[in-house]
């Protein structure tokens, strides 16, 4: 065999061998600590859930898991940091506002749908229509009838313009033809306190936010926006039972940056599923009233697609926008 031909053959063999060597040299994932970005301050629900799974997730992955709080901009600052991460070890603990932000804001420095891949849902809490005890209506149909009889006369408290607790009353009005006055507060806590005090008529919030006033009878629940009655309040009818086709929850889940490889996504989803089966995690979620929902990328992707479309429609019809 002549020298040029031999060189060509040897070169052809060397190329795949070199590729194989590089592939074998790549470190197994995870090769460094995992970073879970929570786009809110410490102590809130997203932070509590992230820290609940932190230890069992470390055990499942065999690697440290760091919960990093990056608050600011209504979750935008932390979410952008996660979207821009390229280390393959940074992920986002997202919640319902992730799908609301693009519906109410035009200048978002990332694409909430395209810049992330769903890993899995952690869980959700259903939204409950609660009123001050002195309000006359005792059920959802009577509440809607009263609202129609006095357009904009019934007041709802919300945690701020463009928030979940703002858009849900707007949606309720769109579904029923009733017109409400939505009063923005600096957070759902102050809004709930004013319902308890009788300063405003109603709020649509979750059992997680309103467990104390619900337990103490300081607010009266009229309906839950869940597919079926919930274990925490089995006597409470659903919105659908009251004639309103509304299902709505505040959810939490894990998102990965768009460039995350399939193999990493699968490994992280499996490890998270293992962590979620930990007895301490189950007890913590149950104590918070977190409802288990179908897990994995596919159910989460379906939820995200539905929520992006729904909140865009609701915000546009209500004319809600945040500068």
pLDDT digits over 208-260, tens only? 888 889 999 999 999 999 999 998 899 999 999 999 999 999 999 999 999 99
Q: 132 vs 22, which has greater pLDDT?
A: 132
Q: What is the mean pLDDT of the chain?
A: 91
Structure tokens at 253: 């889940």
Question: How many Å apart are CA 55 and CA 2, to the nearest integer?
Answer: 63
Residue appearing with tokens 């033809």:
177
Four-point Cα dihedral 98, 101, 107, 110, nearest 10: 10
Average pLDDT over residues 257-279: 96
Residues in contact with 149: Cβ distance below 8 Å, sequence separation at least 6, in sequence order: none
Residue ranges of domains in the chain, CATH in brackets: 34-124+250-318 (3.40.190.150), 126-224 (3.40.190.10)
**291 secondary structure, DSSP code:** B
Structure confidence at residue 148 as a pLDDT band (50, 70, 90): very high
SS3 content of the chain, % helix, strand, coil (to 5): 45, 20, 35
pLDDT, residue 71, reads 96
Residue 132: CA atoms inside 13 Å, Cβ hemisphere, count? 17
Phi, psi for residue 177 in degrees, rounded to 5? 85, 5
Q: Roughly how many angstroms between the first and final C-alpha of the chain, as a whole number?
A: 74
Structure tokens at 47: 């932070």
pLDDT, residue 5, reads 41
Q: 232 vs 93, which has greater pLDDT?
A: 93
Structure confidence at residue 16 as a pLDDT band (50, 70, 90): very low
pLDDT, residue 27, reads 64
pLDDT, residue 13, reads 43
Residues in contact with 48: Cβ distance below 8 Å, sequence separation at least 6, in sequence order: 284, 288
Q: Please count the helices (runs of H) and the strands (runs of E) in the chain.
A: 11, 9
Structure confidence at residue 293 as a pLDDT band (50, 70, 90): confident
- pLDDT above 50 (res 86): yes
- pLDDT above 90 (res 37): yes
What share of the chain has pLDDT > 90, as a percent? 82
Structure tokens at 176: 């029923």
pLDDT, residue 179, reads 96
Average pLDDT over residues 285-301: 89
- pLDDT above 50 (res 97): yes
- pLDDT above 50 (res 6): no
How many whole angstroms from its chain centre is CA 300?
10
Rg over CA atoms, the chain: 24
Collapsed DSSP state (helix, strand, coil) of residue 38: strand
Structure tokens at 53: 């799974």
In this predicted structure, which of 87-91, 105-109, 128-132 has the lowest mean pLDDT? Answer: 105-109
Structure confidence at residue 36 as a pLDDT band (50, 70, 90): very high
Q: 157-215, pLDDT tens digit by residue?
A: 999 999 999 999 999 999 999 999 999 999 889 999 999 999 999 999 988 888 889 99
pLDDT, residue 26, reads 53
Q: What is the pTM of this model?
A: 0.88
Q: b/e for 136-166, b at 16 or more Cβ within 10 A? A: ebeebbebbebbeeeeeebbbbbbbebbbbb
What share of the chain has pLDDT > 70, as a percent? 92
pLDDT, residue 292, reads 83
């Amino acid at each position: 065999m002549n020298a040029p031909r031999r060189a060509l053959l040897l070169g052809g063999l060397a190329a795949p061998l070199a590729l194989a060597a590089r592939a074998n040299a790549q470190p197994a994932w995870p090769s460094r600590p995992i970073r879970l970005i929570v786009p809110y301050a410490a102590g809130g629900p997203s932070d509590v859930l992230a820290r609940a799974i932190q230890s069992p997730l470390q055990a499942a992955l065999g690697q440290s898991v760091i919960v990093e709080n990056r608050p600011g901009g209504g979750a935008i600052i932390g979410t952008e940091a996660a979207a821009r991460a390229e280390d393959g070890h940074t992920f986002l603990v997202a919640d319902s506002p992730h799908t609301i932000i693009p519906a109410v804001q035009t200048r978002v420095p990332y694409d909430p749908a395209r810049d992330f891949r769903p890993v899995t849902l952690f869980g959700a809490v259903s939204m409950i229509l609660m009123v001050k005890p002195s309000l006359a209506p005792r059920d959802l149909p009577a509440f809607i009838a009263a609202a129609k009889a006095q357009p904009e006369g019934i007041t709802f408290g919300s945690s701020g313009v463009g928030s979940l607790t703002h858009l849900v009353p707007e949606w309720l009005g769109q579904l029923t033809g009733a017109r409400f006055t939505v009063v923005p507060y600096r957070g759902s806590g102050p809004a709930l306190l004013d319902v308890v005090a009788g300063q405003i008529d109603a709020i649509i919030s979750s059992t997680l936010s309103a467990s104390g006033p619900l337990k103490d009878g300081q607010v009266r629940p009229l309906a839950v926006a869940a597919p079926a009655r919930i274990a925490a309040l089995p006597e409470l009818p659903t919105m659908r039972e009251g004639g309103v086709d509304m299902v709505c929850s505040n959810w939490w889940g894990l998102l990965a940056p768009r460039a995350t490889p399939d193999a990493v996504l699968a490994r992280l989803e499996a490890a998270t599923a293992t962590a979620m089966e930990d007895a301490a995690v189950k007890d913590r979620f149950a104590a918070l009233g977190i409802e288990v929902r179908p897990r994995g990328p596919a159910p989460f992707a379906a939820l995200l697609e539905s929520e992006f479309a729904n909140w865009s429609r609701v915000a546009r019809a209500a004319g809600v926008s945040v500068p």
